[in-house]
Amino acid sequence: MVFVADEIGELRTDESFKNRTDKEYHIRKSPLEDIVNMVTQFPLDRLHLIDLGAIRRIFKFLIEAKVSSIKLKPSIINRLDWLANGLHSYFPSEFKRKPKSISDFRGYKGSEFKRIGHYDGMLLFYYLCLIAPEYKSAKQCFLLLCCALRILSDKKLCLELLEDARAMLDGFVSFSASVFGAHFVVYNIHHLKHVCDDCTLHGNLEEFSAELYESYLGRIKQWLRAPGRTITQVIARTLEHEKNFTIVERYSSNPQKAVLSSPCGSGFSGGLCGEMFKKFVTDDFTIVAFTGINVDNCCITISGDIIIIENIVKVNDDVYFVGRKFVKRTQFFDYPIDSSLLRVQKVENLSKDVDH
């Protein structure tokens, strides 16, 4: 089914669903109707709607769709593959699936499309416009989606810039019809107009995504020891697992859970006297001290400074990161929003003075 991009229909509500105002939609009564609200308590899932839906569809139209009016030439795809493969070594260890050839997008997992939507997709489309300026409209269309995603996936920005994200998603749906063709706007694309309403009710996208559930499915499959009686087996294994389960506080609430490793006897300590280490590991991130730029030694502080960590010093029970910050920071793009607001910036000129 293809939707008219700018068509505005009447929103279905819990009350209209209960009253069955849309006669063609209702076939029979669901047993869930007496338990939950059938509209607001079933939010749209970002994994299937956006990552495996909208972003994957963009690449399908750019790379292989026979009816696409904006399909990339093989020579351009090869150059983008070269860039994507080159980016692999620049992604920190927190990314389990790092960039690879976009021509292999058919085999991408949801987490890879999510990474593209938040990070390297901006670089891919920036480079695409450098080598083929005629694809500027495709870049602008992608940025509308990617900026909205970064806003709606952040707890703070989701509250502050929700209406901006709504305008971007509405703009993406309308603009994508002119860029990729009217047949691009299937239900997955049209549903993007309703994502902000779900964020208003349920929080940012990360709080109601099926991604964690999908990841957990692998463990559930390992629990099945025989065909049949699937639910019984899952419940039995779950109860067995809970007996041996111990709740451990995460690093965010207990800094003592961080692990320091790879002690070193040399390095600039910034005037601090203590033990020096090269590696700092928590449940959430890893920092590897390195003189120069390394994938695991670059980070952004709460104050917004972008720094590289050159040493890690432990003084009694306190841990200090010694490093240098980038003096010059500029926006990476200004459409549809100043990229600096999303913490996306170009940096240069490392400071000569070491700070901690």
pLDDT higher than threshold 70 for residue 5: no
Q: How many domains does the chain have?
A: 2
Q: How far is CA 169 from CA 20, 40, 93, 310, 317, in A?
A: 29, 20, 31, 41, 47
Q: Which of 176, 207, 238 is the last residue of a domain?
A: 207
Q: Which of 172, 207, 242 is the last residue of a domain?
A: 207
Q: How far is CA 119 from CA 28, 142, 145, 176, 189, in A?
A: 44, 12, 12, 20, 21
Residue 252 binned pLDDT confidence (cut-offs 50, 70, 90): very low
Identify the pLDDT of residue 22: 85
Q: What is the pLDDT of residues 100-129, one digit of tens each?
A: 999 999 999 999 999 999 999 999 999 999
Q: What is the pLDDT of residues 156-212, one digit of tens each?
A: 999 999 999 999 999 999 999 999 988 899 988 999 999 999 999 999 999 998 888
- Stronger pLDDT, 281 or 5, i.e. the higher one: 281
Statement to judge: residues 176 and 273 lie in one domain: no
Q: Is the dihedral of CA 12, 17, 18, 20 positive or negative?
A: positive
Top-ranked range on mean pLDDT: pick from 9-13, 81-85, 274-278, 301-305: 81-85
Statement to judge: residues 67 and 125 lie in one domain: yes
Classify residue 233: in a domain, yes or no: no
Give the dihedral of Cα atoms 83, 84, 88, 90; nearest 10 deg.
60
Statement to judge: residues 44 and 183 lie in one domain: yes
Statement to judge: residues 277 and 201 lie in one domain: no
pLDDT higher than threshold 90 for residue 267: no
Identify the pLDDT of residue 247: 44
Reference 206, options 12, 338, 51; nearest CA is: 51
Classify residue 142: in a domain, yes or no: yes
Statement to judge: residues 51 and 136 lie in one domain: yes
Classify residue 226: in a domain, yes or no: no
Classify residue 228: in a domain, yes or no: no
Mean pLDDT calculated for residue range 81-101: 94
Statement to judge: residues 32 and 103 lie in one domain: yes
Say which residues have a Cβ less than 8 Å from residue 255's Cβ, sequence separation at least 6: 319
pLDDT higher than threshold 50 for residue 298: yes
Classify residue 35: in a domain, yes or no: yes
Classify residue 50: in a domain, yes or no: yes
Residue 263 binned pLDDT confidence (cut-offs 50, 70, 90): confident
Statement to judge: residues 25 and 130 lie in one domain: yes
Domain range enclosing 276? 255-350
Statement to judge: residues 268 and 330 lie in one domain: yes
Q: Out of 196-200, 240-244, 282-286, pick the least confident.
A: 240-244
Classify residue 245: in a domain, yes or no: no
Classify residue 187: in a domain, yes or no: yes
Question: Tokens representing 136?
Answer: 């500027």
Statement to judge: residues 286 and 195 lie in one domain: no
Q: Which of 207, 225, 245 is the last residue of a domain?
A: 207
Statement to judge: residues 174 and 70 lie in one domain: yes
Statement to judge: residues 96 and 190 lie in one domain: yes
Statement to judge: residues 293 and 179 lie in one domain: no
